[in-house]
Amino acid sequence: INAEYGGTTTDRHFCWRLSRAVDILKIVYKLTKHYPDVYQVLDTTLDLVSVILTKLRTDTQSHALFVSVGIKLISVIPYKSGWGALHKINFLPRSDSCLTNWEGLYTEILNYYERPNTQFPVTIALLKLLKRSSFNNEFIADSQFFTEGVLVLLYVLRDVFCGLQKWRFESALLKLKMCKSILVVISRVLQIYRQRKEEREEEGDRQTMSLIEEHVLPALHSGPAHHTLLNIVSWYSALGSANMEEHIERKVCSVVSHTLTVLSLVIKLSPTQSGLEQALVVSNGENSNITAQIATYTYQNTSVKVSLHATRLLTDISTTNAVSLYSALGSSTVPLALAFVNRLSSRSQDVYIKSAILDFISAAVETQPSLTELFMNIEKEGVLGENSCLHPVLEYITRSTTLPLVLVCSVYRLLYKVWHYRHTAAITALKKTEKFWEKLCKHSFEEIDLEKKISSYHLLIRAYTFHILAGDIFYNPCDATTDMVTSLKERDCFLYWTKVLKRICSSVEDTISPSAEDSLFMLPLSEAYLSFVRAWRSFLVVTLVVRQSKDDKLKDNITFHIAGALYYQTAKLDKRVTLKASAEFASLLTILLKHHKNAADQPVLVKVCVQVLETASKSQHDLNQIVIIPVLASLLNVFQGLATANKHQVLRDSGIITELVMLLCNQITSVNPNQLVSLSCATLSQVIETMGSEESWFSNISQIAPGLVRLTEENLLSSTHEVSEALLSLILCISNYKAGASVLQWSNIQRLLCFAQFYSGDKLDSGHQLQRLWFLVVQIVVSLLHTLQIKFAEDAILFASIRHERLMLVIGSLRSDFTHINEVELFTRLLYSLSFYRDMWHIKAPHCLSDVGTILGTTLPIITRCMTTSSVEKEMTQVLSSLCNLTAMLRTMTPSILSLLKEKISVQCSAGPLLALNFSSPVPGTEGPPSYGIMTSCMRGCLTLLQRVDPCRSTTPTKTDSDGKTEETQKSHVIFCMENILYVLISQAQQIIMDSNVSPTEIHYLKRELAMELKTILEGVNRHYRRGGNAQSPRMDRTLSSSSAMGNMLEHSHLAFFKLGYNFVNSLLQG
């Protein structure tokens, strides 16, 4: 044929040979269909077919028949060769040409032969090719060819499916056959789209997904195709009136059934208020609508499949449509409800119809309150009406062990919806029935044979049971549910179902192939497993955490098995459902450990958590939110629940310190969510504090320290305050150890501490979060100075010189309120730490040291006033702490009394004397260096406060333990301040007295005024203790010395330091 073809098709002999060629192709088609390997021998046949097809005309029967058989042959050979051959003859569209205008061989055959002759052999062959390809997993997995298949479907949908109503056919069966084939392909493509949308496929499928979403779905829910779908649905209503043959009626029912399936898929996948949904609920000229018409199909006995799919479609409409289904159904609503209840009560009705009806009622409970009231039919006082759907539901529960699983599962799903959406009247009526909870929960006591294939129904029934129990216990616990939980514990059901989750989590596969009817109700086994995991999680949280179970042994066992299940689940993160199950296990483990911190086998838990983190961090999926963050929180809960003495041993026993530190360091320095970085910092801080100065964490910290400092600077600049706070807290923890502090100094942390912006100008309030960050920075400086000492002193002095204006501003704010007393306390702690390096301070920043003297002279009067006016215990403690820091700073900076008395010469400091020779009373708000008057005034204020916080024993009212501890702390602070001030006064006065450069007049003035001031204060201390006060100083061996009237006080060893003060006063008066 190929050799002798000369361009004419009128030669009878040629047409005869063409018909013989068709017979040959049919033989090859049959051979290849049943014996696929034959194609490897006859591969040249397809090439000859391709050449002949390019030469044939498209308007004769023999030629169309040749094309149709050729396409049949293509449908049974490997898809790449077949679809490639169709491209060679320009039979299929290339890229997206069919979105505009597709001119090819098929278009010519359709327009010039098939439609004029009412015969469609090529179209039927093309639809068979599409159908076979859509069920070929290899074809679907190949994104390029699957996209081409969707393009062909789009063309068929636009130019064939929408024209079926207008075309003439040689027989009705041909039209029905074409409709069914198109609907099957549409349904298959939409199911694939729905599955891939849920599973979030990779980049290669985005073109196909967008093609379906932007073109196929709009054509079905808003284009002319949805009118064709609705017209096909109306065919079923004409079956009773039309005189059709029986086999044609069966074909019509099959086509309508597939149409209802497509409508359900389109409604689920389309946006709300689409053209299809509006057409379903808008009334036509006969005061009814398509929805009401579909409702009549649900209780007609012509076809079980149509009734089943019509009920499923009503379920989808009630779930996704914003319009009330009660109003859309109109007058047919009540008959529909009665018909449904009667079908549920009938023992001869199809099981799948009953399941569909129960699912429809479940959907109504969720979104259709009017329909719910109609179906529940609850009368007054919680009594079930005669036509209530709960009557057959209760009967099904009683006989649940003998009913098909699909029906039992639908019953439990309805009850779960009732409890989940808190239908109070129905819940009350159900709970009033006899032995309701025993009947409902009997499946929870039955074990599952794990050696056999597990049905998803088994898991779903128990999942709904545990959901119902958890909801009732949470909202309205009663004796019946409490007894049921007790029975579950006594029969070890808690531990059994936890072990079941752990055992089957690593082997869940969708190995069961359900029937066509089962596929409407049965979730895949993996989805059922996920539902069971969520239900068991809710049940455990409610019974063990919310209701605060005291069975610690049970909590330990469940926590251990949940951790094991999480490990097994994370090890096979290859499917979407395993990712979600891992998230549920991780969150459950976090909740359990948060409320049960003293779990047994902590080393095992720590090891399992670290192994899960390692596996999850290496996964190709993004597991930050669903696994890594909850597991880190669990790990943090384990550390926080351990006693300080046990933390080190637990980490040692787990044997994963190095791996854990490395993992946490990687999480901190990598690009991760803020919450993950914060949790990693908190966990690493716990590990460092636990291990102390050991070298197990130092090597990893030394590697990330520069990146850690840089990351902190970046987050401060980007105003990511939560992460910045976590990073600064980690840096503070590291700075407490010499090795870590040295690494931080090498990482140029000085720039971050000195120049990071936490406040603006003279504005005091910079926000709560910024204020916390600023406090952390000051604490880090103090910690580094304490750890590194002289090595960091210069950097700390630089920090103080840069930030001293802020200190003056904060100190001034104390004149009006105590809002910034926390910051004042931190600053005074820093100044006390710097006081040990006064000489270096004087050399490196003399102006700053003079400013510090001004700060002391300004701060002491203000704090003294605050000390005597504050009435809030917390504020008083902070004020005293600040005063302790300042007085301790002065004591550190003044020469030692022992040196002065021993050498009998003046011990000069390079910075000169600390106190100005002035005994006038200080005025708060004035600036200047500290003076003798300021110090004595501060000491008098301490004495006044001592009498307030340590009154006489005979008049002391009964105090609580917390009040007693607070007062004891305040008394210690007051005595400490008085001793420091006394020490500074003695040292500074002795230095001046021994200084030959001071005039005798000034020395005489100093002796007289200081002796009188100290004598008055020391006599006040003596009177206080003679009345019964008893305050012990944090320093030992200090007593008050007195004249003969105070001789008895000399015997108290804890007042020895005041004896030294009295002796010094005597020496001043005698000199």
Average pLDDT, the chain: 78
* Predicted pLDDT of residue 420: 92
pLDDT tens column, 948-968: 877 654 444 545 555 566 778
* Predicted pLDDT of residue 763: 61
* Predicted pLDDT of residue 360: 93
Is the pLDDT reported for residue 842 higher than 50?
Answer: yes
More confident residue, 68 or 1044: 68
* Predicted pLDDT of residue 416: 94
At 384, is the secondary structure helix, strand, or coil? strand
**Average confidence (pLDDT) over 602-612:** 79
Is the pLDDT reported for residue 359 higher than 90?
Answer: yes
More confident residue, 355 or 293: 355
Alpha-carbon gap, residue 51 to 60, rounded angstroms: 18
Is the pLDDT reported for residue 16 higher than 80?
Answer: no
C-beta atoms surrounding 592 within 10 Å: 24
Is the pLDDT reported for residue 284 higher than 70?
Answer: no
Q: What percentage of the chain exceeds 90 in pLDDT?
A: 8
Is the pLDDT reported for residue 334 higher than 80?
Answer: yes
pLDDT tens column, 173-191: 888 888 999 999 998 888 8
Residue 462 banded pLDDT, cuts 50, 70, 90 = very high
* Predicted pLDDT of residue 466: 94
Alpha-carbon gap, residue 411 to 393, rounded angstroms: 6
Of how many residues is the chain composed?
A: 1071
* Predicted pLDDT of residue 518: 52
Please report, for residues 131, 590, 710, 975, the alpha-carbon distance to residue 966 in angstroms, rounded to integers and kept in the order given. Answer: 83, 36, 42, 14
Residue 396 banded pLDDT, cuts 50, 70, 90 = very high
Encoded tokens for 657 = 């310190």
Work out the burial of residue 88: count CB atoms within 10 Å of its CB; fewer than 13 is exposed, 13-18 middle, 19 or more buried. middle
Rounded to 5 degrees, φ, ψ at 378 are -90, 125
More confident residue, 456 or 288: 456
Is the pLDDT reported for residue 410 higher than 90?
Answer: yes
SS3 content of the chain, % helix, strand, coil (to 5): 75, 0, 25
* Predicted pLDDT of residue 513: 43
* Predicted pLDDT of residue 238: 64
- Choice among 178-187, 215-224, 1049-1058 with the minimum mean pLDDT: 1049-1058
| Short-list 175, 51, 192, CA closest to 130 | 192
Is the pLDDT reported for residue 455 higher than 70?
Answer: yes
The C-alpha angle 148, 153, 155, rounded to 5 degrees, equals 95
At 951, is the secondary structure helix, strand, or coil? coil
- Choice among 270-274, 281-285, 313-317, 855-859 with the minimum mean pLDDT: 281-285
Is the pLDDT reported for residue 661 higher than 80?
Answer: yes
pLDDT tens column, 83-130: 777 777 777 655 555 555 566 677 777 777 778 888 888 888 888 888
- Amino acid symbol at 152: V
**Average confidence (pLDDT) over 220-245:** 75
pLDDT tens column, 679-730: 888 888 888 887 776 667 778 888 888 888 888 888 888 877 888 888 999 9
> Against a cut of 0.85, is the pTM above it?
no
* Predicted pLDDT of residue 362: 93
Q: Which residues have C-beta within 8 Å of that of residue 467, sequence separation ≥ 6?
A: 416, 419, 420, 535, 538, 539
* Predicted pLDDT of residue 407: 92
Is the pLDDT reported for residue 391 higher than 70?
Answer: yes
| Start-to-end Cα distance in the chain | 141
pLDDT tens column, 753-778: 887 777 655 566 656 777 888 888 88
* Predicted pLDDT of residue 694: 64
* Predicted pLDDT of residue 554: 85
* Predicted pLDDT of residue 561: 84
pLDDT tens column, 491-502: 888 888 888 887
Is the pLDDT reported for residue 592 higher than 80?
Answer: yes
Q: Which residues, listed in sequence order, are joined to residue 916 by a DSSP beta bridge?
A: 931
Alpha-carbon gap, residue 309 to 258, rounded angstroms: 8
The C-alpha angle 823, 750, 752, rounded to 5 degrees, equals 70
More confident residue, 616 or 435: 435
What is the distance of C-alpha 558 from the center of its chain?
A: 23
Handedness of CA 402, 404, 409, 415 (dihedral sign): negative
Please report, for residues 569, 700, 821, the alpha-carbon distance to residue 967 in angstroms, rounded to integers and kept in the order given. Answer: 55, 45, 19
**Average confidence (pLDDT) over 16-24:** 77
* Predicted pLDDT of residue 514: 47
* Predicted pLDDT of residue 140: 81
Work out the burial of residue 824: count CB atoms within 10 Å of its CB; fewer than 13 is exposed, 13-18 middle, 19 or more buried. buried
**Average confidence (pLDDT) over 872-892:** 81
User: Is there a contact between 18 and 66 (Cβ–Cβ < 8 Å)?
Assistant: yes
3-state secondary structure string across 889-919: HHHHHCCCHHHHHHHCCCCCCCCCCCCECCC
- Amino acid symbol at 487: S
* Predicted pLDDT of residue 355: 92
Place of tokens 């483990």: 589
* Predicted pLDDT of residue 240: 55
Encoded tokens for 876 = 């008083």
Q: Which string of DSSP letters, residue by residue, matches 498-557?
A: HHHHHHHTTS--------TTHHHHPPPHHHHHHHHHHHHHHHHIIIIIITT---HHHHHH
Encoded tokens for 244 = 């059709």
At 378, is the secondary structure helix, strand, or coil? strand
At 119, is the secondary structure helix, strand, or coil? coil
Alpha-carbon gap, residue 733 to 489, rounded angstroms: 44
Is the pLDDT reported for residue 638 higher than 70?
Answer: yes
Residue 989 banded pLDDT, cuts 50, 70, 90 = confident
More confident residue, 818 or 220: 220
* Predicted pLDDT of residue 201: 52
Is the pLDDT reported for residue 419 higher than 90?
Answer: yes
Region of 435 on the Ramachandran plot (φ > 0 left; ψ -120 to 50 alpha; else beta): left
Is the pLDDT reported for residue 31 higher than 70?
Answer: yes
* Predicted pLDDT of residue 169: 82
* Predicted pLDDT of residue 654: 63
Task: Determine the angle formed by the axes of helices 961-993 and 1056-1070, rounding to 10 degrees.
Answer: 30
* Predicted pLDDT of residue 955: 46
Please report, for residues 235, 261, 264, 281, 345, the alpha-carbon distance to residue 314 in angstroms, rounded to integers and kept in the order given. Answer: 18, 11, 9, 11, 20
* Predicted pLDDT of residue 502: 77
**Average confidence (pLDDT) over 844-850:** 67
Is the pLDDT reported for residue 1042 higher than 50?
Answer: no
